[in-house]
Structure 1
Amino acid sequence: MSDERGTSVIFDLDGTLVDSELNYYEAGRRMLAEHGVMDFSWERHTDFIGISTRETVTTLREEYGIDTPVDALLADKNRHYLALAGTSTTVFPEMGKFVELLHGDGTPMAVASGSSRAAIEAILRGTGLDVYFRTIVSAEEVPQGKPAPDVFEEAARRLGSAPGDCVVVEDALPGVVAARAAGMRCVAVPYVPATAADPAFQSADLLYAGGQAEFSAQATYDWLNSH
């Protein structure tokens, strides 16, 4: 149930709560290298930020003409990612403080991510965030990943909250679009600040155009209390 303000907060994980995009890039690079693709760049990876792992792998398979089935490629990428995640994933400091503030006043919270459930659980456990998040939704568990609203709608359902009572915290354009489609408010913290001028980011209820370097736990908490 929601707190006395009636507000629940749903977090994206990668690039929002934790700094894990480099690990996802490296996992994808290793997966593709095993299939003879040696030119996968960070710049190309950024095109998939906010997109589910399955959809990313499906697109790359078609783009590079790889014959291996999607499920096998997905398993390979997850294997590489999990090997990296446990040792080199860090929580963004201000995001960690924000979670603590919300936890302190009993605000219901959830994680809704395009990653596999195994990856989500490994990161939450490895960073200690698992003590704050009992509600987790992976794109694997819903019909469509972001920018469809499914993961956020399912998170709200599991929290027992109406979509209009939920605030989403996101770093990527597909996530902001998904939050809007779900009828939820959105705090946007672009992982790539250069994309902050995009109309989707500009539509956010609260936008930190400078990304994590600009995000403030206390200012966001105060904003939630006043809206």
Structure 2
Amino acid sequence: MNILISQRDEKTAQYIANGLKELGHRTNYVESLETIKVLESLTSYDLVILDTNVDDISGIEICRYIRQQSKHTGIIFISNDDEIQIKLRAFEAGADDYLIRPFAFLELVARIKSVMRRKDHVVSDDENILKVGSLVLNYHTRQVKRGDKNIELTTKEFLLLEYFMKNKNILLTRTIIKEHIWGIDFINDTNIVDVYITHLRNKIDKGFDTKFFYTIRGAGYMLKG
């Protein structure tokens, strides 16, 4: 899963991120809750882990904003605030769960699994499918087709294509792509993005007159459709 983390305590955020990475999840940590509002693709996250307040900004208001953007994104609060009124406000804003610090990491994992099971249950087949022209991606079955052609992708290629399709006709810089697909700690001077774009072009665009992937010289890449 792709998980966004925002906590007032950076050590707690790092503890959560390290544990989730070991389980194979991709994590992105943002220091400011306000940053969440300007993320280019908030809906690309499967789960957001919030605090009630970070730098005097209300996590509950950010939760409400996220829920307005996507009803399928999981939202879990981890906070020191144990007052029932705060918890009620969080749930009314759209939170799926609320966990009090200190907490056991295994309990967090169990709650994440429970939240995501509920989310998976309410998502219909149509909502599992992304379409851009003749390109179809089913992120539940992990199948990709262009017209009648089945396309075999590696896990990273699939995640990258999904990210582009969710952001079609939007310029994505190499830095943004690295942060969302490989994590914010990934080495900045690598050409890994260019390599994977080449893989996707060979598998998706090769042999077709109409191209999906375009290079925006000096800026990044775009999937047009």
TM range, smaller chain: 0.3 to 0.5
- Over alpha carbons, which structure has the higher Rg? 2
Task: Give the TM-score taking structure 1 as reference length.
Answer: 0.32
Task: Give the TM-score taking structure 2 as reference length.
Answer: 0.33
Greater share of residues in strand = 2
Greater share of residues in helix = 1
